[in-house]
């Protein structure tokens, strides 16, 4: 029964790893009453999940996921938490192709949009990429294309059981730990990760979770703009970075003053629905699109190069990302992914 764990949380106590193993079994059991599962998630949200609890949830849930049989070594996941509600183009999804065009393998894990009109899965589908490929195909797709998308529902089938509970809580405006978990549940367990975080206060949590999960190198980033925070590395203002390097955590501000980036405003980066965003991405990769959008995509790809150690300096990484676009290699990465999945 969940009730004892709910009461434990309401007393302010943290859950242990054995607690979380039991709790996950109950949360993902369709026979458990929805109100009891919702009460537990409300109580956890009320207490606030610590990094140790979040990491334990990730590890337990990954044990229940389907493995894509991809080696974690050398691969990076690029993603955002969503939730900044600015409706920008799909920057991390587009940066996947730029990064792959630089020769760095990308294993992106994601889903359809929740707070946006166009999530990563939606825009990839509109780009002609088949998103629901079988897990046993993932390694071959990565080998052929240099990048692969892992569609969350294919790898986490047990999550269907919690969907009605999450829907109920979403309708009442209550966030849950599952909102935090999305960027952390890549079943390939990548060695490297770049995660955009919409809430600045969550950066220390994500960095500590990355450390606990054993990421070799990972950045949790929060960009600034005059209109508010972004779950991306920003070309409109400074970006706060909490990074994990070999078990140590560092905090820094990423400045772009010395980069050849043109002035832009948030409106320049706005997106639309999946089809509109797909056209925008193709235009950028073909070299004919918006300069502002191309530059923020290149900047985020550049940071992926820094995370993986493919480059050591931001200026050189940015130029390499721009060259991935101008040379056509980023577009070819998209075309390879189309061919490999269809």
Q: Show contacts of 201-206: CB within 8 Å, 24+ apart.
A: 202/81, 203/240, 203/242, 203/251, 204/242, 205/50, 205/51, 205/54, 205/180, 206/242
C-alpha distances out from residue 250 to 60, 80, 241, 308, Å: 27, 20, 8, 16
Residue 40 shares a structural domain with residue 139:
no
The upper half-sphere exposure of residue 184, i.e. CA atoms within 13 Å in the direction of its Cβ, equals 28
Residue 19 has which token pair? 């607690």
Local confidence band at 116 (pLDDT 50, 70, 90 cut-offs) = low
Answer whether residue 54 is part of any domain.
no
Render pLDDT for 35-50 as a digit per residue (tens, 0 to 9).
Answer: 999 999 999 999 999 9
Question: Do 23 and 134 fall into the same domain?
Answer: no
Residues 199, 294: one domain? yes
> Tokens 């995509």, residue?
297
- Same structural domain, 140 and 27: no
**Is the confidence at residue 115, as pLDDT, over 70?**
no
- Check pLDDT > 90 for residue 20: yes
Q: Quick check: is 69 in a domain?
A: no
197 lies in a domain?
Answer: yes
Q: The domain that contains 254 carries what CATH number?
A: 3.40.1030.10
Which is nearest to 119 in space by CA: 131, 137, 101, 134?
A: 131
- What's the mean pLDDT in 94-117? 90
Examine the domain organization and report whether 138 and 36 are in the same domain: no
Asked if 190 and 82 sit in the same domain, the reply is yes
Domain hosting residue 193, numbered range:
76-341
143 belongs to a structural domain: yes
Q: Rounded to two decimals, what is the model's pTM?
A: 0.96
DSSP tag of 247: T
Residues 30 and 134 placed together within one structural domain of the fold: no
Percent of the chain with pLDDT over 90: 92
pLDDT band at 282 (very low <50, low <70, confident <90, very high): very high
Q: With contact defined as beta carbons under 8 Å apart, do 138 and 70 qualify?
A: yes
pLDDT mean over 170-182: 91
Pull the structure tokens for residue 248. 């140590």
- 284: in domain: yes
Domain presence at residue 55: no
Q: Quick one: tokens of 59?
A: 């590890």
Q: Are 262 and 162 members of one domain?
A: yes
Within a domain: 65: no
The dihedral built from the CA positions of residue 303, 147, 103 and 208, taken in this order, carries a sign that is positive
- Please indicate, yes or no, whether residues 18 and 86 belong to a single structural domain of this protein: no
* pLDDT attached to residue 142: 98
Cα(19)–Cα(30) distance, integer angstroms: 19
For the chain, the C-alpha Rg in angstroms (whole number) is 19
Structural domains counted in the chain: 2
Residue with tokens 């940066």: 95
pLDDT mean over 56-80: 97
Does an H or E element contain 53, and which?
Answer: helix 51-63
Using CA atoms, how far residue 304 sits from 77, 239, 299, 307, in Å, is 9, 14, 9, 5
For residue 85, being part of any structural domain is answered with yes
Same domain, 86 and 37: no
Closest CA to 293 of 91, 92, 123, 98: 91
86 plus 44 within the same structural domain? no
Residues 88 and 42 in one domain: no
Q: What is the pLDDT of residues 304-315, one digit of tens each?
A: 999 999 999 999
């Amino acid at each position: 029964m969940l009730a004892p764990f709910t009461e434990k949380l309401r007393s302010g106590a943290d859950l242990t790893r054995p607690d979380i193993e039991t709790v996950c079994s109950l949360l993902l059991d369709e026979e458990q009453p929805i109100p009891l599962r919702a009460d537990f998630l409300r109580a956890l949200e009320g207490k606030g999940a610590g990094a140790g609890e979040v990491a334990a949830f990730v590890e337990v849930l990954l044990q229940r996921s389907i493995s894509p049989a991809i080696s974690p070594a050398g691969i990076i996941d690029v993603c955002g938490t969503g939730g900044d509600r600015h409706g920008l183009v799909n920057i991390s999804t587009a940066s996947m192709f730029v990064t792959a065009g630089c020769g760095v393998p990308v294993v992106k894990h994601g889903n359809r949009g929740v707070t946006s009109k166009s999530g990563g899965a939606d825009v990839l589908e509109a780009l002609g990429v088949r998103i629901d490929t079988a897990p046993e195909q993932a390694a071959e797709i990565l080998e052929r294309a240099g990048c692969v998308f892992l569609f969350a529902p294919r790898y986490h089938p047990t999550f269907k059981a919690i969907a009605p509970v999450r829907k109920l809580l979403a309708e009442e405006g209550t966030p849950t730990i599952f909102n935090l978990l999305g960027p952390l549940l890549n079943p390939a367990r990548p060695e490297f990760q770049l995660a955009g975080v919409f809430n600045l206060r969550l950066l220390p949590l994500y960095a500590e979770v990355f450390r606990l999960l054993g990421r070799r190198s990972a950045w949790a980033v929060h960009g600034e703009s005059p209109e508010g925070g972004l779950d991306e590395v920003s070309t409109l203002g400074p970006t706060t970075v909490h990074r994990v390097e070999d078990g140590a955590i560092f905090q820094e501000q990423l400045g772009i003053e010395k980069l050849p980036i043109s002035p832009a405003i948030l409106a320049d980066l706005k997106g639309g629905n999946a089809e509109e965003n797909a056209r925008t991405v193709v235009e950028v990769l073909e070299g004919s699109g918006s300069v502002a959008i191309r530059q923020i995509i290149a900047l985020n790809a550049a940071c992926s190069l820094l995370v993986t150690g493919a480059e050591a300096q931001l200026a050189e990484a940015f130029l390499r990302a721009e060259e991935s676009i101008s040379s056509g290699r980023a577009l070819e990465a998209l075309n390879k992914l189309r061919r490999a999945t269809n």
